[in-house]
């Protein structure tokens, strides 16, 4: 291989520009047009691409150095000559990251797809001279619309494409929001009944499904209408239809009665996920439903089976049992909410045992037979085979990323064996100008994770220095009681050989919890024995999903037990339980006899 010098090309009026990132190292194999360094002036950031492919032999620059046109970046063992001037890289040109040009990225790291062995995307589909937009976002769920709005705020011309005419994706339309509306309705009904034991009695509740569904839809509509208004105010063009990549710089959109081909400088893929259907289950019968069908709530079945004891399954079990159905839950694992610490699940299980007819663990559904008036479900568990009849069956065993059918191969991309697209900490795929976020890029499949990733991708596309550096992502099951957790669980800490100290506070000693009927709840925090910093936490009880945010912040801040315990919390509140769990770990708790005293 011939030895070549790669130099800084013509970068316009910029001279003596500082290098803020070096994106390659000696021994790396680089492709033509792959970014080598990132420069930053007082006007813009820009990436300098490779004008030839080969193996990096020696770097001539480092972070903090200042360069101009003609400065040598590195020595390359080139694989083949290109049509460009290899010495000067004049035709390649640096790529400014500015709002009117849309830029590829101000980030820098090679994507995880490339690092794991995936071949970089081919150069097919060169950036068009006059594209329809700087940034095209495919998918208008929480991650997608957040990315589109953030990029528009940063000055990019944005097109947002979604197959549905209403923004918000699964979460706002048929997921997070309508489910929480129904869970709240059931909670109000339950609380009214419970107050009968405390001197305030109401008549037996009457459920009007038409009114309940109308209220649920009004909640959703208020949010989705707000999104439409925000898109309009930001001048984000919304295109309705199914999108499929034709190459690395264009997308074909199939709408109702019309088609369009949109060209772009950069793209963010945010197509979300779909419910998993286990083998042998025919979703063609209208009585066998997924989470979307469950939220339509067209009837209250007498006998309702939930296949799957995860978050979605248990939330829907709470809704339907609260509205009067006899609910059975089947879970393949040895407990509900697999992966969550047993002490938290134990409190929820106590409540569910009262609400549900049956809960079967270590059990799988082997067949569903459709009868005229019912469904016969065959199950196989630790105690053998059995069958029961149900009026409706919810399949809630998980979700699968929507990476197929969007033209990834045409853009030089692919998915792994689980269907995920590999990205780096800047959300960049193997194609440097195409990003992916949310359910497409891995677990956990949560809207708040997608929103955070979407903003990172948008900022990188706009020339901002942004990367994923969150220490923890919280999870919440909005059951009754709620269960929330973040960071390491006890089981994970033990499996990883991490020594930890635990601080736990039972809600039976919290006045606010007792007044809410949440005396069974608990809050616990885990602290690294060596550093003293909080590494995880879990809460079960009313409002756990709200309380967990303090634990998330504590992890991000690297807080110790005294940092939390010495923070004055309002009284009487549930938030005190977080402080008291920290005090229990620190040995300063006064509301109970501490296991250790300091």
Residues labelled catalytic: 571
Report helix, strand or coil for 443: coil
Burial of 69 from C-beta contacts in 10 A (0-12 / 13-18 / 19+): middle
**Residue 4: phi, psi to the nearest 5?**
-130, 155
Beta strands in 62-193 (DSSP E): 66-67, 72-78, 95-97, 133-138, 158-162
DSSP 324: T
CA dihedral 75, 81, 82, 83 (to 10 degrees): 120
DSSP 406: S
**Neighbouring C-beta atoms of residue 129, cutoff 10 Å:** 6
Instruction: Give the Cα separation of 467 and 450 in Å (integer).
Output: 14
267: alpha, beta or left? (left if phi > 0; alpha if psi -120 to 50): beta
The bridge status of strand 475-477 relative to strand 482-487 is antiparallel
- Considering only CA atoms, which of 175, 441, 491 is closest in space to residue 338? 491
Instruction: Give the Cα separation of 143 and 176 in Å (integer).
Output: 14
Element (H, E) at 506: strand 500-506
Q: How far is CA 249 from CA 52, 144, 145, 241, 382, in A?
A: 22, 18, 20, 18, 53
C-alpha triplet 360, 400, 307: angle, nearest 5° = 15
Element (H, E) at 238: strand 237-240
- Considering only CA atoms, which of 408, 455, 453 is closest in space to residue 434? 408
580 CB-near residues (< 8 Å, 6+ apart): 505, 509, 510, 523, 565, 589, 591, 592
28 CB-near residues (< 8 Å, 6+ apart): 55, 56, 110
Instruction: Give the Cα separation of 561 and 587 in Å (integer).
Output: 9
The token duo for 16 is 């003596």
Instruction: Give the Cα separation of 491 and 319 in Å (integer).
Output: 30
Instruction: Give the Cα separation of 269 and 248 in Å (integer).
Output: 12
**Neighbouring C-beta atoms of residue 27, cutoff 10 Å:** 8
Give bridge partners of residue 384 from the DSSP assignment: 381
End-to-end Cα distance, the chain: 68
**Neighbouring C-beta atoms of residue 405, cutoff 10 Å:** 10
Instruction: Give the Cα separation of 348 and 329 in Å (integer).
Output: 14
Instruction: Give the Cα separation of 136 and 260 in Å (integer).
Output: 13
Q: How far is CA 37 from CA 17, 56, 91, 423, in A?
A: 11, 13, 17, 19
């Amino acid at each position: 291989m011939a030895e070549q010098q790669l130099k800084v090309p013509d970068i316009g009026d910029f001279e003596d520009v500082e290098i803020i990132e070096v994106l390659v190292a000696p021994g790396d194999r680089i492709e033509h047009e792959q970014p080598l360094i990132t420069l930053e002036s007082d006007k813009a950031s820009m990436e300098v691409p490779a004008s030839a492919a080969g193996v990096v032999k020696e770097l001539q620059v480092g972070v903090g150095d200042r360069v101009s046109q003609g400065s040598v970046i590195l020595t390359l063992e080139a694989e083949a000559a290109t049509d460009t001037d290899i010495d000067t890289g004049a035709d390649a040109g640096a790529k400014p990251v500015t709002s009117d040009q849309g830029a590829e990225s101000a980030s820098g790291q090679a994507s995880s797809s490339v690092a794991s062995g995936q071949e970089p995307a081919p150069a097919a589909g060169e950036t068009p001279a006059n594209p329809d937009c700087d940034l095209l976002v495919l998918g208008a769920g929480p991650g997608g619309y957040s990315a589109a709005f953030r990029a528009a705020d940063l000055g990019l011309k944005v097109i947002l494409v979604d197959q549905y005419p209403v923004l918000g994706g699964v979460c706002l339309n048929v997921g997070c929001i309508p489910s929480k509306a129904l869970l709240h309705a059931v909670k109000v009904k339950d609380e009214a009944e419970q107050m009968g034991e405390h001197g305030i009695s109401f008549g037996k509740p009457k459920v009007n499904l038409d009114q309940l569904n109308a209220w649920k839809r009004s909640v959703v509509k208020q949010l989705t209408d707000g999104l439409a208004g925000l898109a309009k105010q930001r001048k984000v063009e919304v295109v309705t239809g199914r999108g499929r990549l034709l190459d690395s710089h264009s997308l074909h959109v199939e709408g109702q009665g019309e088609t369009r081909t949109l060209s772009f400088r950069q793209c963010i893929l945010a197509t979300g996920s779909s419910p998993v259907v286990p083998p042998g289950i025919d979703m063609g019968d209208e009585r066998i439903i997924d989470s979307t069908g469950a939220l339509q709530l067209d009837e209250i079945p007498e006998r309702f089976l939930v296949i799957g004891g995860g978050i979605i399954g248990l939330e829907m079990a709470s809704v339907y049992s609260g509205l009067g159905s006899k609910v059975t839950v089947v879970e393949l694992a040895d407990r509900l909410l697999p992966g969550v610490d047993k002490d938290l699940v134990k409190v929820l299980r106590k409540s569910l045992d009262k609400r549900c007819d049956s809960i079967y663990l270590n059990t799988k559904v082997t067949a569903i037979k459709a009868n005229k008036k019912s469904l016969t479900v065959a199950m196989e568990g630790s105690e053998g085979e059995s069958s029961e009849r149900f009026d409706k069956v919810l399949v809630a065993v998980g979700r699968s990323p929507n990476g197929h059918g969007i033209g990834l191969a045409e853009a030089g991309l692919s998915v792994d064996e689980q269907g995920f697209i590999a990205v780096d900490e800047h959300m960049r795929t193997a194609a440097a100008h195409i990003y992916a976020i949310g359910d497409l890029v891995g677990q956990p499949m949560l809207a708040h994770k997608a929103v955070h990733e979407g903003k990172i991708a948008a900022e990188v596309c706009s020339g901002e220095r942004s990367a994923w550096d969150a220490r923890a992502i919280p999870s919440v099951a909005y059951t009754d009681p709620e269960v929330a957790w973040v960071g390491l669980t006890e089981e994970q800490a033990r499996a990883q050989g991490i020594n930890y100290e635990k601080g736990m506070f039972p809600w039976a000693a919290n006045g606010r919890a007792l007044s809410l009927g949440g005396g069974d709840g608990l809050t616990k925090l885990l602290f690294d024995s060596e550093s003293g910093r909080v590494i995880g936490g879990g809460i079960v009880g009313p409002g756990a999903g709200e309380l967990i945010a303090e634990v998330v912040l504590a992890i991000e801040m690297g807080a110790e037990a005294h940092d939390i315990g010495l923070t004055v919390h309002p009284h009487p509140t549930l938030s005190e339980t977080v402080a008291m769990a920290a005090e229990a770990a620190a040995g300063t708790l006064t509301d109970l006899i501490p296991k250790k005293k300091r």
